Every structure is written in structure tokens, then in C-alpha cells.
Amino acid sequence: MRLISIISGKGGVGKTTIAANLSVALSQLGFKVTAVDLNLTTPNLGFQFGYYLNEVGLHDILKNLDKLEKGIYIHPGGVRIIPGNLSIESLSGIELSNLDKIIYRLKSDFVILDSAAGLGREALASLNIANDVLVITNPEITALTDALRLIKVAENINKNIVGVVLNRVGRSKNEIRKEEVERFLGYKVLVEIPEDKWVVKSVEEKIPVLYLNPNCRASIEIMNLAYAILGTNYRIKPPFWNKIFFWR
Ligand code: ADP
Ligand code: MG
């Protein structure tokens, strides 16, 4: 089993979108994948898959492990999801130490943890429990300095940083280039996911972009991220007509 925490220093860089779609990509490659929402205060991983009025969520399972079976939602595409609960009272009495047991009982090939941004209690829980850490950032200085701070913390507790994902590339002018990002953070950029209107549409429609449009640039790069995580050199090349409309 591989446990990958999706983390970022700054909020809103694309962790939840990537956690959801990386789970889809790995499941399409034949693996049993469970995506878990560790954003305890503001859970929103379920939205990406259309689960938002779930009865049982991670909060309940953390309080009572017997609820695990009921809290796993199997998406028609095959990914298993443990969403959070949206009610505020579900926050009290949570045993974060139960997280290990939950993950062990999932018996998945991959467990993908969507995390809170920054270095708060929830974010650190995700960092502590993971073997592998995937750092998501945008090509701008504020996101990068926050990412660097988180990387230093991850290094201090000897986590394996798998690499960096540059998301929303091409959104603004004067972006920091891949090579500079690698030099600044000290880790390889595994993929550059472009700003893509299909991602926005997929969040609106609550269908992961890999299902909504598997051929859009963002979907192709998320699939390539799955290949990179598997350690293969294989990469899909975007069709040329898709490339014409993409520049930096
Ligand atoms: P985080 O979990 O890091 O807070 P989210 O995954 O929720 O970030 O993404 C924040 C917003 O950014 C979402 O509304 C999503 O639609 C948008 N977004 C993320 N990645 C992309 C992308 N590659 N192209 C366009 N919009 C994106
Ligand atoms: Mg999020």
C-alpha cells in the first residue's frame, strides 16, 4: 500500500482537485484507490465526486471505527472516497490517532490523503502519517515560499517528498518557470498542469475532470502525474490542436 499526502503551504492551489483526479488516474490504471478527506474543518473532497450530503464521514469514523464500512463511498468509476462531514458539531471528540487504523483497514493499493493547507494540526496530521508527500504549488512567489516552508518541515521529519506539481500554469503573466521552481524548492517538478477551463467546469458539475474530458490538457497532465508516481518514464503527449491554444 502506498500512502500519499497531497500538501501545500498556501490554500487554493489545487490540492483537492489533484487528490480527486490523481485517485481517478491511478484507478484507471488498475489500482484499488481510496481518497480520504483530511480537511477536517473545511472538507470538500466529496464535492469533486458529487457526494455532499453524506451521512457518515471521516469525522464519524475517527470517533467510531465500526462506521468505516458505511463511510466509504464507491464512485461509479471505481474510486473509493471517505469524505468529511459538514456539520460543525462533528469536530468535537475526534481521535486523530485512529487514522492509522482506518488507513490500514482500507486494504487499498493507494490511499490518497487530501490535506488542509499550511502547518496547522490537520495539515501536520496528514504530513505525519504519510510515507510519500506530494507538494502542490502554483508558479507564483507567495505559493512557492509557503511551499518551501512546508518542505523544510517535511524534511525534518524525514518524509519522502515525491516531487512538486506546478498547477494552474499559464494563468497569469510573469510566472516563475519550472527550472526556477526546481532550484528554489530543491525538488523535481513532476508535471505542469495548465490552467484549464475543463477543471472549472468539472468542479461545477461535480464530475472529476478525468471523466468529464479525458483529453483536455489538465487531464493528460494528471494522468502523466500518475505515471510519474508509478516511477515509469511513459508520458502521454497532448494532441497538437490542444497545444496550439496553450502558451506561456
Ligand atoms: P485547494 O484544495 O488547494 O484549496 P482546490 O483543488 O479546491 O484547491 O482548487 C481551488 C480552485 O481552483 C477550484 O475551484 C478549482 O476549480 C480551481 N483549479 C484548480 N486547478 C485548476 C486548473 N488546473 N485549472 C483551472 N482551475 C483550477
Ligand atoms: Mg482543498
215-228, pLDDT tens digit by residue?
999 999 999 999 99
CATH of the domain at 180: 3.40.50.300
Residue 241 has pLDDT above 70, yes or no: no
Q: How many residues does the chain have?
A: 248
Task: Tell me, letter by letter, the H, E, C secondary structure of 16-62.
Answer: HHHHHHHHHHHHHCCCCEEEEECCCCCCCHHHHHCCCCCCCCHHHHH
Which atom of ligand 1 is the closest one to the Cα of 8? 3
Residue 121 has pLDDT above 90, yes or no: no
For ligand 1, the distance from its centroid to the CA atom of residue 63, given in whole angstroms, is 30
Q: How does residue 248 score in pLDDT terms, banded at 50, 70 and 90?
A: very low
Residue 144 has pLDDT above 90, yes or no: yes
Number of domains in the chain: 1
Cβ of residue 35 lying under 6 Å from some atom of ligand 1? no
Rounded Cα–Cα distance for residues 232 and 10 (Å)? 29
Cβ of residue 45 lying under 6 Å from some atom of ligand 1? no
Q: In terms of residue numbers, what domain contains 199?
A: 2-245
Cβ of residue 218 lying under 6 Å from some atom of ligand 1? yes
Q: What pLDDT sits at residue 240?
A: 67
Rounded Cα–Cα distance for residues 15 and 21 (Å)? 10
The one-letter amino acid code at 23 reads S
